[in-house]
Homo-oligomer: A and B are copies of this chain.
Amino acid sequence: MARIAPLSGFPEWLPDGRVVEQHVLDTLRRTFELHGFAGIETRAVEPLDQLLRKGETSKEVYVLRRLQAQDDAAAPDTQADKQLGLHFDLTVPFARYVLENAGRLAFPFKRYQIQKVWRGERPQDGRFREFVQADIDVVGAGELPYHYEVELPLVMAAALGALAGVGLPPVRILVNNRKVAEGFYRGLGLDDVEGVLRHIDKLDKIGPDAVAALLVQECGATTEQATACLELAAISGSDASVTDAVRALAASHGAVTDLLETGLTELGALIEAAAVRAPGVVVADLKIARGLDYYTGSVYETVLVGHEALGSICSGGRYDTLASDGKSTYPGVGLSIGVSRLVSRLLSAGLVRATRGVPTAVLVAVMSEEDRAASDAVADALRARGIPADVAPKVAKLGKQIQVADRRGIPFVWFPGETDQVKDIRSGEQAAADAGEWAPPAEDWWPRVVPGA
């Protein structure tokens, strides 16, 4: 094997980076479970025809071929219905899982799912071809009450908030409601709602003047209508003033509709609940459009304060048809955290670090190979009491064995003897100890994740 270069777009971490990632994953899992979400895992592949149902994403799919299946390779396009591709998100597999198991699930079904997904796009600035997503969704059978649209961003606020202690910057969850946008546009007389949303979604990239021009050119808007759309998109805030501002704007343009009013009631309820349960985190931002056309109610994006250029690290929304089997329709609401993107930023910006890259709290020295069994017995006694321990790779002078621990960040070295001794190699303190009783301080027991600076 010659020298090996990393594959662009396929991130991997060194052991201490993995400690950080694992802590993020454990924290998310715990928060999701505290909120009653059941964990599931789906296979990595779906039939290609299912993955291609949303035409837009087709170019991102990795298709699988068994190496010996020459026929498949010769005529890949004619066999699309038999082919398998790697999932590019966790929503498509979840929708399939719900249909496949509908009779065995209790609805509303709350699930979290933390898995890798793959997208065959050109890797660029923080875009990965393989990355971990952490999704929560609630799906109902036939109906799904609005209050879940309030609950889900608050669960994510709790999950991300639980990482603040280790150095995750504060997050801001930006929310909007499709009914507000659609009700307002229709009230204005603009019927190409999807077109308008698609252009509004470009505001941060191309600016208001370019968006206004596009609305006029491509959505048939008058200059006044285009201006009204931009005025709506400029509204944001985290209290009732937001809905008041939208109502006033709509009234001034004669754009009040029932749909708008429904949307404002919903958005208002979300802002109100968020102000109590996660003060300062949730902000109504009327420019949030989310490109995808299947959202029908609340939509969410999340920025890391101070790292806004990273883009949204946690997005989602309400969809009236997550899945449908002809008989029943399954509406849902969900959000997805881009874990790899988040962890990559935490590590590369030095925002967090692991106190060590190995689990080991104690390295037991070995005085001679004949005494290895005694050292093993010490390590086993510590492990039996939940203390991660390892035994020195080989016999060496004490200084050398301390070096073995030091290189790995292991804080304690144990010296078996007539009376066992344990040394904190950072302070140099050494004391007699009994493997059946001694324990490391809580902060040294397991590797921890701490703020970087």
Contact = CB atoms under 8 A, between A and B. Distances in A.
B58 A67 contact: yes
A358 B99 contact: no
Interface in A84-98: 84-86, 95-97
Contacts of A19: 39
A4 B110 contact: no
Interface in A1-54: 1-7, 10-15, 18-19, 21-22, 33-45, 47-48, 50
A380 B277 contact: yes
A290 interface: no
A394 interface: yes
Given A2-B325, A85-B67, A359-B34, A45 B130 contact: yes
Q: Which of A111, A140, A393, A407 gathers most chain B CB within 10 Å? A: A393
B41 A18 contact: yes
Contacts of A380: 277
A359 B36 CA distance: 6
A273 B101 CA distance: 48
Interface string A46-80: 01101000000011111111111100010010000
Interface string A291-315: 0000000000000000000000000
B388 A36 contact: yes
Given A4-B100, A116-B44, A15 B39 contact: yes
Contacts of A360: 36
A452 to B, nearest CB: 18
Contacts of A63: 64-67
A400 interface: no
Interface residues on A, range: 35 or more
Contacts of A326: 1-2
Contacts of A106: 404, 407-408
A48 B232 CA distance: 52
Nearest to A376: B277
Nearest to A65: B63
A372 to B, nearest CB: 6
A204 to B, nearest CB: 28
A383 interface: yes
Interface in A131-176: 140, 145, 147, 151, 158
Contacts of A34: 359, 383, 386-389
Contacts of A451: none
- Which one of A99, A145, A325, A358 has the greatest number of beta carbons of chain B within 10 Å? A358
Contacts of A43: 7, 10-12, 130
A257 interface: no
Contacts of A407: 106
A276 B373 CA distance: 10
Nearest to A21: B41
Nearest to A394: B145
A323 interface: yes
A324 interface: yes
A36 B4 contact: no
Contacts of A58: 67-68
Contacts of A45: 7, 10, 130
Contacts of A285: none
In the A-B complex, the 7 residue pairs with the closest CB atoms = A36-B390, A66-B120, A33-B359, A10-B43, A15-B38, A36-B360, A34-B383
Given A7-B84, A12-B41, A36-B358, 12 more contacts: A1-B99, A2-B326, A5-B100, A12-B42, A14-B104, A34-B383, A35-B379, A35-B383, A36-B360, A62-B65, A147-B372, A277-B380
30 contacts: A1-B50, A1-B96, A1-B99, A2-B326, A10-B43, A11-B43, A12-B41, A12-B43, A13-B41, A14-B101, A15-B105, A18-B39, A21-B41, A34-B386, A34-B388, A35-B389, A38-B357, A39-B359, A45-B130, A59-B66, A59-B67, A61-B67, A62-B64, A62-B66, A73-B73, A106-B404, A108-B393, A145-B393, A147-B372, A277-B376
